């Protein structure tokens, strides 16, 4: 049983009934759940996750105009865990997330630098994509007014111009690494750099798959696992990347096959971009498709950014 399920069960059977008796006035103005940092928030926790920062705990997200409720809720939660501790008590390392009652806006701001939806498209570029993934992962167990869920849903994925900009960047970077520099550095005998380029190409390929699926890519530890779950290209690209990882280090013997595999991945992505009407290019070089996708961006400011940005 995953920790998200165990925690939700504790909330429904123990925490919520106790809260209804202890601080009932808070219920219309709070949401509760578990999201953010941690394998359990992605549903990926296993036996290796239990040695640190694992165990039952939950956030209480308080509406921003009801901050006076935060301290009473902190006191209630501390007393609840003393009186009715969960079977799996959460441990916390020096680097683990602090899970406590917090204003909803402050929670989102701590992850992505925005307290709520904004018309400023540049705000969507300031935080790493993995931080957005943490802002919308996990599960909301309770939402008194529905306001927290509404804000969270507004961050479900990037605005379309930002998504297109991401796809443009991935086109340029996949072309630069897998279709251009990988072979050139290998032919020069610089296999250290060629290995770094291959790793970069694999990461950029994953970013592309997530953008095509309109899903945030988690940080590197869980990116490949999440990739395998994506409906569009997920299974296909994860299999191809696994083959690349098993090809061995880049050297004089392996690089021709590795380079060919990278080219095949780029051609497959180009086919999808064309099929979806995102690219009008028929070039085999993925950078040409990036230039084609770039013409779809409507916001002049976002369109003016460097293609590789």
Provide the residue ranges of all domains of the chain, joining segments of one domain with +: 3-154, 160-303
**pLDDT at residue 24 above 90?**
yes
pLDDT range class, residue 243, cuts 50, 70, 90: very high
Averaged confidence pLDDT in the chain: 96
The tens digit of pLDDT for each residue in 254-269 reads: 999 999 999 999 999 9
| The two structure tokens encoding residue 199 | 């790793």
What CATH number is given for 3-154 in this structure? 3.30.460
Query: pTM for this one?
Result: 0.95
| CB-facing half-sphere around the CA of 59: CA atoms within 13 A | 25
Q: Report the percentage of the chain scoring pLDDT > 70.
A: 100
Query: Is the separation of the CB atoms in 302 and 308 below 8 Å?
Result: no
The tens digit of pLDDT for each residue in 88-129 reads: 888 887 778 889 999 999 999 999 999 988 878 999 999 999
What pLDDT shows up at residue 301? Answer: 96
As beta bridge partners, residue 143 has 31
Grouping H, G, I as helix, E, B as strand and the rest as coil, residue 4 is helix
How is 37-67 classified by DSSP, letter by letter?
Answer: SSGGGGT---GGGGGSS-SB--EEEEPGGGG
């Amino acid at each position: 049983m995953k920790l998200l399920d165990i925690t939700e069960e504790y909330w429904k059977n123990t925490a919520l009934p106790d809260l209804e008796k202890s601080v009932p006035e808070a219920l219309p103005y709070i949401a509760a759940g578990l999201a953010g940092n941690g394998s359990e928030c992605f549903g990926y926790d296993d036996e290796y996750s239990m040695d640190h920062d694992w165990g039952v705990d939950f956030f209480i997200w308080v509406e921003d105009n009801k901050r006076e409720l935060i301290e009473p809720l902190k006191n209630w939660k501390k007393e609840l865990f003393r009186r009715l501790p969960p079977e799996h008590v959460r441990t916390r390392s020096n680097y683990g997330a602090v899970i406590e009652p917090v204003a909803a806006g402050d929670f989102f701001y701590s992850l992505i630098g925005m307290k709520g939806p904004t018309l400023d498209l540049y705000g969507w570029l300031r935080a790493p994509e993995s931080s957005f993934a943490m802002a919308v992962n996990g599960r909301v167990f309770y939402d008194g007014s529905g306001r927290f869920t509404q804000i969270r849903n507004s961050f479900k994925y990037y605005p379309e111009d930002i998504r297109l900009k991401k796809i443009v960047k991935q086109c340029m970077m996949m072309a630069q690494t897998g279709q251009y520099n990988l072979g050139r550095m290998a032919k020069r005998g610089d296999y250290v750099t060629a290995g770094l380029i291959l790793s970069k190409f694999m990461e950029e390929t994953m970013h592309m798959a997530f953008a095509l699926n309109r899903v945030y890519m988690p940080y590197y530890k869980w990116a490949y696992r999440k990739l395998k779950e994506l409906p569009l290209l997920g299974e296909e690209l994860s299999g191809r990347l696994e083959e690349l990882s098993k090809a061995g280090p880049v050297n004089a013997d392996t690089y021709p096959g590795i380079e060919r595999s990278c080219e095949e991945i780029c051609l497959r992505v180009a086919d999808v971009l064309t099929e979806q009407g995102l690219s009008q290019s028929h070039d085999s070089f993925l950078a040409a498709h990036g230039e084609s996708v770039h013409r779809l961006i409507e916001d002049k400011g976002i369109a003016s950014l460097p293609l590789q940005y």
